[in-house]
Amino acid sequence: GIATVSTTATNPAINPKIPYNVATDFTPVINIAATPNVIAANPQFAGKNYKQFLEEIKKNPAKYSYASPGTGSITHLMMEMFKLSTGTDMMHVPYRGSGPALNDAVAGQVPLIFDNLPSALPFIKEKRLVALVVAAPERIPAMPDVPTFKEVGLEAANRMAYYGIVGPKNLPKDIVDKVNAATRKVLQDPAIRKRIEETGSIIQAGTPERFAQQMKEELAVYKDVVVKQKLTMD
């Protein structure tokens, strides 16, 4: 199966009714790629860059709302992490996926959105959304003027969304290694690499052990955010 940071970290961190245990019910095989996340604004929003955005939301606590692909999604919990780190307050408006959230942000129904970069980037390129800050190791070539969270002093929030392959629990090591090796081989294909990297994603292709560690670390990080922000699914 394909595992994402939402299915293995953020959703389990906030939802006690998740019907699986991330630590015991899967065998991590390989992290395929990591995807940047971006805070973007409707062009009518008062802030046109990160500094102006931060000044505006600090000046007007709880005035503004932000859209996310849903409660428990990575961008929901990342925005809560951002609020915690900056002492700001914005109202969360959860949607059923990125599509509806982006549509309302573009239409101005919600002034701000925190979303995965691949789905938001087309709207940013068309200037229907204004990118303010991005969670990525370095600036994105398609948005050279947009700083990373690390650059603005929020390194803890500079987290990407991963997606990778997991198997059922107790998957034999020889099968894990075989699937890992086959996936790494596919990810060396220039056409495949180009397709993934065009979305702003960064190929990972590490070991099963490294993927297991990433899953464990991300779950711990988002559990901490849920506790500190007193978040629930309601």
Position 199 scores a pLDDT of: 80
**Amino acid sitting at position 62:** A
Residue 234 pLDDT = 76
- Could you read off the pLDDT of 89-111 as tens digits, one per residue? 999 999 999 999 999 999 999 99
Say what percent of the chain tops pLDDT 70.
100
132 close to 117: Cβ distance less than 8 angstroms: no
The pLDDT score that the predictor gives to residue 32 is 98
Q: What local confidence, expressed as pLDDT, does residue 195 receive?
A: 92
φ, ψ dihedrals at 198, nearest 5°: -65, -25
Domains of the chain, each with CATH number or no CATH: 2-35+160-229 (3.40.190.150), 37-157 (3.40.190.10)
What is the structure's pLDDT at 70? 94
| DSSP classification of residue 34 | E
Non-local (6+) Cβ contacts of 143 within 8 A are: 38, 121, 124, 131, 134
What percentage of the chain reaches a pLDDT higher than 90? 96
Determine the straight-line distance between the first and last CA of the chain, rounded to whole angstroms: 28
CA distance 113 to 102: 7
pLDDT in tens, 131-167: 999 999 999 988 999 999 999 999 999 999 999 999 9
* Contact residues for 37 (Cβ-Cβ < 8 A; gap 6+): 74, 75, 78, 114, 115, 116, 117, 134, 135, 159, 160, 161
